[in-house]
């Protein structure tokens, strides 16, 4: 079969030039939620990578929703203006579509950056009170979260809506709601973290209720011209936890509400998880969700080789592939993949003379590289 990795793809209102997605990658480098020079450099180089779509790191909808005190946020006009400067720079020099991932860390908030150990910052250490569906900490010894009441849930839903409106005001192409990796929306979904006895706990329908309400509110708050999707953990990798059958049902419910794509990851909810790591270990989950729901899917997780990525898309296992660590290690991964697969990729005209002789047709020089 002919390579599909470098063919255009349309999902919802958004068309991307190829199937390579730069996945959200937390940088823990913001100042009170504001994007900094680091984000300009980091996102700027990835915008010139030749990928088809660039996603921001998890962007907190409220201060208490941050994973760490250095997380990117979009709860204020100051946050919006700071991110806007990065977006404007990218728009001037790269045609790549942009998606902002909106999230709330829930009980996994108030943590240190990974290079500082990543552990919980307790209240007496300058941390903040976390919230969750139930008063169950992520791990023993961590801050016990407050169980959200109706008022708290309404406030969080409102924060997601306000954040989505700020994203739209920046002219971003899409939004991804973070319902994976053990953060707040995932905490509502999993029976390991949600022990509520009201309409938001117990049955699968009840546990899905709040994440679906948040999605529906965000979808209604932005125009149809903006793509809105969800990142999920297809399984907790813990017996008795969230798993693929429930993920399929959640995806079907999202599809009925107008979801444009599902980004399929896994794990992150419990320290008890046992993840069988191997190349493309999560692709099977994306394939099943794609087959059973018809939703456009993004596969992610140990996808590092060009032929591996191409096979995932060409064989129909997933519509797009997302790379994270591989993109950090090689910010020109799409260029090199296109060279190996005999395809073309977009690049800024300032770089056109860089292509090696054996790949003289690598760059698509019919575009200016600017938007």
How many residues are present in the chain?
371
The span from the CA of 295 to the CA of 318, in Å, is: 10
Active site residue: 183, 200, 281, 359, which one?
A: 183
The span from the CA of 179 to the CA of 133, in Å, is: 13
Tell me 274's DSSP state: -
- For residue 285, what are the contacts with CB-CB under 8 A and spacing of at least 6? 234, 235, 244, 247, 264, 266
The span from the CA of 49 to the CA of 118, in Å, is: 29
Mean pLDDT score, 171-188: 98
- DSSP secondary structure, 284-331, as one string: HHHHHHHHHH---EEEESS---HHHHHHHHHTTS-SEEEESHHHHH-T
Pairing, β 20-22 against β 131-132: unpaired
For residue 365, CA distances in Å to 56, 90, 228, 333, 344 come to 27, 19, 31, 19, 9
Please provide residue 288's backbone torsions phi and psi, each rounded to the nearest 5 degrees. -65, -45
Element of type H or E holding 167: helix 150-169
* Record: fold of 9-344: TIM Barrel (3.20.20)
Q: Among 23-27, 175-179, 234-238, 355-359, which stretch is predicted with the lowest mean pLDDT?
A: 355-359
Query: Per-residue confidence at 371, pLDDT binned at 50, 70, 90?
Result: low
- DSSP secondary structure, 2-28, as one string: ---TTS-EEETTEEESSSEEE------
What tens digit of pLDDT does each residue of 183-225 get?
Answer: 999 999 999 999 999 999 999 999 999 999 999 999 999 999 9
- DSSP secondary structure, 236-273, as one string: -SSTTS--HHHHHHHHHHHHHTT---EEEE---S-TT-
Instruction: Output the pLDDT for position 361.
Output: 87
The span from the CA of 325 to the CA of 214, in Å, is: 29
What tens digit of pLDDT does each residue of 7-50 get?
Answer: 999 999 999 999 999 999 999 999 999 999 999 999 999 999 99
The SS3 of residue 82 is: helix
Q: Which comes out higher in pLDDT, residue 290 or 3?
A: 290
Cross-strand bridge partners of residue 345: 363
Mean pLDDT score, 241-268: 98
What is the number of other CB atoms lying within 10 angstroms of the CB of residue 370? 11
Residues 223, 158, 58, 229, CA torsion sign: negative
Mean pLDDT score, 89-104: 97
Instruction: Output the pLDDT for position 367.
Output: 65
Element of type H or E holding 58: strand 53-60
Tokens at residue 16, please?
């991307």
Query: Per-residue confidence at 57, pLDDT binned at 50, 70, 90?
Result: very high
Residue 9 designated active-site: no
């Amino acid at each position: 079969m002919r390579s599909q990795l470098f063919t255009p793809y349309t999902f919802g209102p958004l068309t991307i030039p190829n199937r390579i997605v730069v996945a959200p990658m937390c940088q823990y480098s913001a100042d009170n939620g504001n994007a900094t020079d680091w984000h300009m450099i980091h996102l700027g180089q990835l915008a010139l990578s030749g990928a088809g779509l660039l996603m921001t790191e998890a962007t907190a909808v409220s201060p208490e929703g941050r994973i760490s005190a250095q997380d990117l946020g979009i709860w204020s006009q100051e946050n919006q203006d700071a991110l806007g400067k990065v977006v404007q720079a990218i728009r001037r020099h790269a045609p790549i579509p942009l998606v902002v991932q909106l999230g709330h860390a829930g009980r996994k908030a108030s943590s240190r950056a990974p290079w500082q150990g990543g552990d919980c910052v307790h209240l007496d250490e300058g941390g903040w009170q976390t919230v969750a569906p139930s008063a169950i900490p992520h791990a023993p010894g961590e801050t016990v979260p407050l169980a959200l009441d109706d008022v708290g849930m309404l406030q969080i839903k409102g924060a997601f809506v306000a954040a989505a409106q700020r994203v739209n005001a920046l002219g971003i192409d899409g939004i991804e709601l973070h319902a994976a990796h053990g953060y707040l929306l995932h905490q509502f979904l999993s029976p390991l973290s949600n022990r509520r006895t009201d309409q938001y706990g117990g049955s699968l329908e009840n546990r899905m209720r709040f994440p679906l309400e948040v999605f529906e509110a965000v979808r209604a708050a932005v125009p149809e011209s903006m793509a809105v999707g969800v990142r999920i953990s297809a399984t907790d990798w813990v017996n008795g936890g969230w798993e693929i059958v429930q993920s399929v049902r959640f995806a079907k419910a999202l599809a009925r509400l107008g979801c444009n794509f599902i980004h399929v990851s896994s794990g992150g909810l419990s320290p008890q998880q046992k993840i069988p790591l191997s190349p493309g270990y999560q692709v099977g989950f994306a394939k099943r969700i794609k087959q059973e729901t018809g939703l456009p899917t993004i596969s992610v997780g140990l996808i590092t080789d060009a032929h591996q990525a191409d096979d995932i898309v060409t064989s129909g296992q997933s519509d797009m592939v997302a790379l994270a660590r591989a993109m950090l290690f090689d910010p020109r991964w799409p260029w090199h993949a296109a060279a190996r697969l005999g395809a073309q990729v977009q690049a800024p005209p300032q770089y056109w003379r860089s292509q090696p002789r054996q790949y003289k047709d690598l760059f698509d020089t019919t575009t200016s590289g600017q938007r």
